[in-house]
Structure 1
């Protein structure tokens, strides 16, 4: 009997790991694009909050989940456009602008939610787990891997497309060059600003989708601060993953495991561990991960530095 309970615990934890890692996967892979182009966006938390709220609002108004997910992406990109304008065109400090984006995201989403939705008591329809014939009913692995919704499975496609774009296309090669040697890109007649704008929009679009998943694929309601620091954890994931999309995917799964464990262990009262300690586990591991990363040789050389053509 104990063996069955243990297997059930492991299967549930594995399944929850991928699901809880999904917003981190989207946000961290998006940030890989941005930082590879030399732009550090610490405003991911605000971008994800905006994506979560806009996606929820769109589905609340229309009942269309695809439209809600698209709206989450566009909401993230709209915030990204503001960030890009100030950091790339105006050349304002990226840290300061990112901090402002976080404050804007937290304040604006809280204001709009309290104004229009807090009294409704209504949730929205969310993405449902898929039933994969022959796979969903497999013992152990069926519950762990083959009972996820389509948004979770789409993370595999995102990481594959990101690897292809960054390492197999002219756009990706130039984007990485923008983060390493922007003057060389400028010399051959390509716009450094245009590539940085593109990288930021890709990054914030994916971060918005990550936020949208929280309201449309995980919960059916928006709450203030629903991201709970995931934007900041995504920044740590990028560093720990050495600015690699595949690395970001794998490290996100590791942090997803910490989220899953803290939820599973809270359901084990016999352990007598304070729930506050369990809730802090993902954030403690974020600090540990950053401490472990000592070699910064892979850091894009112009990360966080505005490009001055002159």
Structure 2
């Protein structure tokens, strides 16, 4: 027997012993069971017997046309509901065995549940559910959340709690609108937006690092400051001469040849503005640099154990200052989506709490760029579904649909997704 085989054989009993000692976690199996029951008791039983649901999967610019898919509502809802019940039973079995399911399980379960919901919501409505529109809207609504979550990842990995993401998004939206209007160029607004976010980040780190003020209090105060300042300037300057200071400017869509014509994913991912393409690049680069570069190692070290970082020659406070300002510029760039990204004029408090949802996405993503990206897309997708279904008519009240992303946010912040551990030195001033 080779040494590798012997090691594997010896490790198997140890893993089984650890599994027996691991506590049974009932939270997720019970949740899956409740959702499967809802699918069977509501989506399947209440779907009109002779109704149909129609889905559109293509656009007119695709390489080839995918015909609309029409399915019988009730039978399809029953099949999806039974599939969800099987997945819930599998989760229960694995929980009893103290074995963990792969990441595929929640993804498949969530996709089937959403599909069952759409089949029921569109049953007998006489309207087509445009899946491409749903996905495009989900990505668009996720853009400021993703930028805000990336800001939170960089700042909090460095040890600075950033509650001021809301203010940074709003400041970026304001300066982008003013600069774009003044120079009649959306691209100028896009360039200006990061400076507004960086300025808010500089105030945050100045009070936090230099004067050791409680970082949560500073973040809340900065949010109130930015809301008050932008509202004052909006009412006194922008509304007086909107043609100069608040005229609409929009970033043009830049479709990528060939890729933008791929059915379903092409219009969603590759027919976007430069702001969305920058978002792709920032997420990818941060995922690489946070965990694979010297800069990322230093950032994580000052957020986890600043004393140890100081002993090896890392300037802790300088690192935190630079990273927090850089993080603020990322959030400011996300704020540009509210104005030049959508071709809208600036409005008071137009960020509408998106900074706090971005903060929840960062926590849900466990301070990981890709995890935060997935969480932000989940929030954007839930909002997009609500918007689309409210236009085609659905048995669900529109107010309930608007509540979906905030309900998910509450569950995420409450730790429903599992125990998460923030950086150890987060929020703790470093005094030499």
| Bucket of the pairwise TM-score, normalised by the shorter protein | over 0.9
Unaligned runs of 5+ in 1: none
Following TM superposition, where does structure 1 have runs of at least 4 consecutive aligned residues deviating by more than 6 angstroms? none
CA–CA distance in structure 1, aligned partners of residues 155 and 377 of structure 2: 21
Residue 427 (structure 2) pairs with residue 304 (structure 1): yes
Q: TM-score, normalised by structure 1?
A: 0.93
Pairwise mapping of residues 120-199 of structure 1 onto structure 2 (< 5 A)? 120=241, 122=243, 123-199=247-323
Shift of 1:53: 0.2
What are the Cα deviations for residues 233-267 of structure 1, in whole angstroms up to 9, with x where unaligned? 11111111011011111111111101211211221
Secondary structure of the equivalent of 2:254?
coil
Residue 57 (structure 2) pairs with residue 2 (structure 1): no
Secondary structure of the equivalent of 1:242?
coil
Q: TM-score, normalised by structure 2?
A: 0.68
Pairwise mapping of residues 1-310 of structure 1 onto structure 2 (< 5 A)? 2-4=54-56, 9-120=130-241, 122=243, 123-269=247-393, 271-291=394-414, 292-296=416-420, 298-309=421-432
Secondary structure of the equivalent of 1:2?
strand
Secondary structure of the equivalent of 1:216?
coil
Check 1:119–1:280 CA distance in 2 against 1; reply closer, same or farther (3 A cut): farther
CA–CA distance in structure 2, aligned partners of residues 257 and 174 of structure 1: 35
Check 1:142–1:97 CA distance in 2 against 1; reply closer, same or farther (3 A cut): same
Shift of 1:67: 2.0
Shift of 1:124: 2.0
Check 1:3–1:173 CA distance in 2 against 1; reply closer, same or farther (3 A cut): closer
Shift of 1:121: 5.2
* Equivalent residues of 2:172, 2:332 under 8 A apart: yes
Greater RCO structure (CA 8 Å; 6+ sep)? 1
Secondary structure of the equivalent of 1:243?
coil
The structure whose Rg is larger is: 2
* Equivalent residues of 2:151, 2:165 under 8 A apart: no
Secondary structure of the equivalent of 2:387?
helix
Q: What is the aligned length?
A: 307
Alignment root-mean-square deviation, CA: 1.8
What are the Cα deviations for residues 84-143 of structure 1, in whole angstroms up to 9, with x where unaligned? 100111100001100100101111111111111224455322112223333334443333
Unaligned runs of 5+ in 2: 1-52, 57-67, 70-127
